[in-house]
Each structure stands twice: as structure tokens, then as C-alpha cells.
């Protein structure tokens, strides 16, 4: 193998694929980046066997070939090279030689044949989604996935395509986030994508690009193509919870409130509650205001926010974390909070927008 390419391009490519390389793995080969020089192109691949990322850049290929280089060392070396052309070759002992201006670096390599091949994903069920919309949909749902590996299906986000509707749903037993979108599709499809995969996709998406992300799904794998980058991930197996059953259809109280004011007030109220377990904040809804209070051995907080109330007065308490996380991903200025009793779930929706629903369970007051 023998090729050269600009340092900047190589560094960018390394930083894209490196995120799928696990530093914790005990398999040395998985700590490496696979390099393949072929027909004017350099392909870089990294994988942790769950997620694989592949990126292609142009290169001046003088001799085709492939090799595996330790990802961390390779990244550090290329980062420190000057903004110039980098030439990489392999000698007869399979040592890698990196040349750039007046620098020559020799490092050990591993055989490319030991590197696991990424699964081949047939591009049959293929959808195009604008990057900005997909990134926003991920942001508004992925935080509500479960961190608890004992129910693996809940560590992913349900992606549900029904004709021209695209729904993404995450839930963890305490709250549920549903983001609705539209898609150009004629068929129905349902998969559960690991939260980690969605976070990686979000990171890779380059918002400067107008090009949509291409999503191809099979039963077990998803292929996500963004420009010259492909991310391949396994999907989660199993049946997702029928979330429609969980969403209440009716309510007794509807509160209209400013999103930012509510977020700030709950954040202050939660400052003193943090030491406790449930981060309890209490809402007292009455007439034209909502009073938010919290209490701990450190002190107490009292907050008053103007609201428009339709329906009954109510007292209800929540874990502040579940409210804060949702309010942070809602960009709309005002939300409705709909409630039934002090022990039944609360629902948050943007006032001027029908695309987001967030359900949160209350904490029972003693």
C-alpha cells in the first residue's frame, strides 16, 4: 500500500470513524482503523461490532493495499503533522511509514485480513430524511430512552413509518417522548434503533450540507449514509411497547405556560433538591398562576409563574429531572401541560405545534 493525501482531509476522516472504535475492547484489532487504498480513494473503517463507520476520501494511490493502524496513535500522529501532504506506505516488514515534510514516523501495523467485515445492508427499504429534521427528531427523543440494560428494547428509539408519517418514540418507564415527522414513503416499517447509534449519527451529520441522510433498513441492521460516510448499526430485537395505549386521551386541567420561564423555575427549585433521591418539585396550580416549591434539609425554594388555566385547580409533584430534560429540547415559546389528577401522568405539548408529545409520571405526595 502506498498513497498520499492532504493532512487535513485525513485527520477529518479519522475523526469521523474513530468514534466507533472502542478503546475498552480487549480485541486489539478493534482498537485499530482499517485503511484501504484503491482506485484513487482511501477508505477508513472503524467498528466496535455494534456500530461500524466507513468514510471515503480522495487520495493519490500509488500502490493499492490495506492495513490496520492503532486508532488513537494514528489520530494523534496525523493531528500533530503540519498542514501539508501526508504520504503513507508499508515496508516489507509490514511497518507503516508516515512521511510529511521533514518528518518520518514508523509504527507497527496489524493485518487487514483480521479486521471484521461490516455487515452488508441491502438498500431496499430506503428513505431520505433532511439532516436538520432527523437531528432534531433524535434530540427530542433519545434522552428519554432507558439506561437500564435489563430491558434492552427500551435502550433504543422506536422508528415507525406509516405511509407518509414518521414517528420516533422513546420511553423508560417514567416518561415517554413522541416526535412526529413526515416522510416520503408508501410502505409501513417499524424498527428500534439503539440510542448510541442515533447519538453517533447526530454527531456525524454535517448541518452545512443540504443533502438528506439516506436510511436503509433490514430486519437486523440499519445503514445511514451521509455524503461519503456510511454508518452501519445492528437494530434492537423485540417488540416495542404499544405506546398509544399509554397516552391519555382526556384531561381535567390544561395549563398554558412559557417554556423558558418554567424551565428556569424548575432548575432553581431543583438546586436544593439534588441531594435527595427523587429531585421532587411540587406544582400548585390555581387560577392564573403556578407555584413551584421544593424543600430539602438545605433550604426551600418558592417560584411563581403566570399561567392560563382551563379546568380544575391541582397539586402535583414531579421528579424535576424528567421535566427539565424535556423542556430543554422544546424550542416552542409556549407549552400546554395537561393533567387529570395528582397521581396520573402529565402531558406536555407545544402550543403552536402538533409534532411533539411528552408524557411524565408524577411522584406521589405523602
SS (H, E, C) 234-263: ECCCCCCCCHHHCCCCCCCEEEEEEHHHHH
- Alpha-carbon gap, residue 139 to 142, rounded angstroms: 6
Measured from the CB atom, the residue of 138 and 324 that comes closer to a copy of itself is: 324
Under the binding rule (CB under 8 A), the answer on residue 271 touching a copy of itself is yes
Taking CB under 8 A as the criterion, the residue among 267, 315, 325, 334 binding a copy of itself is 267
| Residue 85 makes contact with a copy of itself by CB under 8 A | no
Q: How many residues does the chain have?
A: 366
Q: Is-contact 67 109, C-beta < 8 A?
A: yes
Ramachandran angles phi, psi of 19, nearest 5°: -65, -20
Which residue in the set 39, 299, 352, 354 belongs to the binding site for a copy of itself (CB under 8 A)?
A: 299
Asked if 302 is part of the footprint of a copy of itself (rule: CB under 8 A), the reply reads yes
If one counts every other C-beta atom within 10 angstroms of the C-beta of residue 167, the result is 20
E-assigned strand segments in 145-220:
156-162, 165-171, 175-182, 188-194, 213-217
- Decide: is 272 part of the binding site for a copy of itself (CB under 8 A): yes
108 binds a copy of itself (CB under 8 A): yes
13: number of CA atoms within 13 Å, CB side?
25
Q: Is 76 in the site for a copy of itself (CB under 8 A)?
A: yes
Q: Which of 15, 23, 94, 95 binds a copy of itself (CB under 8 A)?
A: 95
Q: How far is the CB of 116 from a copy of itself (least distance, A)?
A: 23
Counting contacts by CB under 8 A, is residue 238 touching a copy of itself? no
Least distance in angstroms from the C-beta of 363 to a copy of itself: 21
Residue of 139, 180, 256, 268 that binds a copy of itself (CB under 8 A): 268
107 binds a copy of itself per the rule CB under 8 A: yes
Cα separation, 78 vs 7, in Å, equals: 7
DSSP classification of residue 110: B
Phi then psi for residue 164, to 5 deg, are: -95, 10
Q: Smallest distance, Å, CB 7 to a copy of itself?
A: 12
15 part of the interface to a copy of itself, by CB under 8 A: no
310 binding a copy of itself? (CB under 8 A): no
Q: What are the beta bridge partners of residue 225?
A: 214, 230
Binding-site size for a copy of itself (CB under 8 A) equals 30
106 touches a copy of itself by CB under 8 A: yes
Alpha helices in 97-194 (DSSP H): 131-141
Binding site for a copy of itself (CB under 8 A): 70, 73, 76-77, 80-82, 95-96, 102-108, 264-265, 267-268, 271-272, 298-305
Amino acid at each position: 500500500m502506498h498513497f498520499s493525501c492532504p493532512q487535513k482531509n485525513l485527520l477529518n476522516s479519522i475523526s469521523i470513524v474513530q468514534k466507533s472504535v472502542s478503546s475498552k475492547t480487549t480485541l486489539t484489532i478493534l482498537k485499530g482503523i482499517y485503511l484501504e487504498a484503491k482506485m484513487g480513494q482511501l477508505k477508513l473503517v472503524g467498528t466496535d461490532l455494534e456500530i461500524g463507520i466507513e468514510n471515503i476520501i480522495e487520495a493519490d494511490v500509488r500502490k493499492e493495499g490495506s492495513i490496520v493502524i492503532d486508532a488513537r496513535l494514528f489520530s494523534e500522529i496525523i493531528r500533530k503533522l503540519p498542514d501539508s501532504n501526508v504520504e503513507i506506505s508499508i515496508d516489507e516488514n509490514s511497518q507503516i511509514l508516515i512521511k510529511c515534510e521533514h518528518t518520518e514516523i514508523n509504527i507497527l501495523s496489524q493485518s487487514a485480513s483480521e479486521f471484521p467485515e461490516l455487515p452488508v445492508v441491502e438498500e431496499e427499504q430506503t428513505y431520505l430524511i433532511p439532516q436538520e429534521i432527523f437531528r432534531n427528531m433524535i434530540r427530542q427523543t433519545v434522552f428519554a430512552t432507558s439506561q437500564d440494560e435489563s430491558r434492552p428494547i427500551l435502550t433504543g428509539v422506536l422508528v415507525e413509518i406509516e405511509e407518509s408519517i414518521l414517528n420516533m418514540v422513546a420511553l423508560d418507564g417514567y416518561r415517554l417522548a413522541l416526535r412526529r415527522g413526515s416522510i416520503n414513503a408508501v410502505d409501513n416499517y417499524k424498527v428500534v434503533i439503539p440510542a448510541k447509534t442515533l447519538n453517533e449519527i447526530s454527531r456525524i451529520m454535517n448541518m452545512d450540507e443540504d443533502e438528506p441522510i439516506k436510511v436503509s433498513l433490514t430486519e437486523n441492521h440499519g445503514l445511514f449514509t451521509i455524503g461519503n460516510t456510511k454508518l452501519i448499526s445492528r437494530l434492537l430485537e423485540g417488540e416495542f411497547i404499544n405506546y398509544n395505549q399509554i397516552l391519555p386521551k382526556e384531561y381535567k386541567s390544561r395549563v398554558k405556560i412559557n417554556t423558558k420561564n418554567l424551565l428556569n423555575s424548575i432548575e432553581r427549585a431543583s438546586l436544593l433538591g439534588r441531594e435527595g433521591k427523587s429531585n421532587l418539585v411540587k406544582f400548585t396550580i390555581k387560577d392564573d398562576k403556578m407555584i413551584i416549591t421544593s424543600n430539602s434539609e438545605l433550604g426551600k425554594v418558592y417560584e411563581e409563574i403566570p399561567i392560563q388555566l382551563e379546568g380544575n385547580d391541582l397539586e402535583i409533584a414531579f421528579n424535576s429531572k424528567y421535566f427539565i430534560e424535556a423542556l430543554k429540547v422544546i424550542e416552542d415559546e409556549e407549552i400546554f401541560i395537561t393533567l387529570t389528577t395528582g397521581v396520573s401522568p402529565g402531558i406536555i405539548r407545544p402550543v403552536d405545534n402538533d409534532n411533539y408529545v411528552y408524557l411524565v409520571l408524577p411522584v406521589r405526595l405523602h
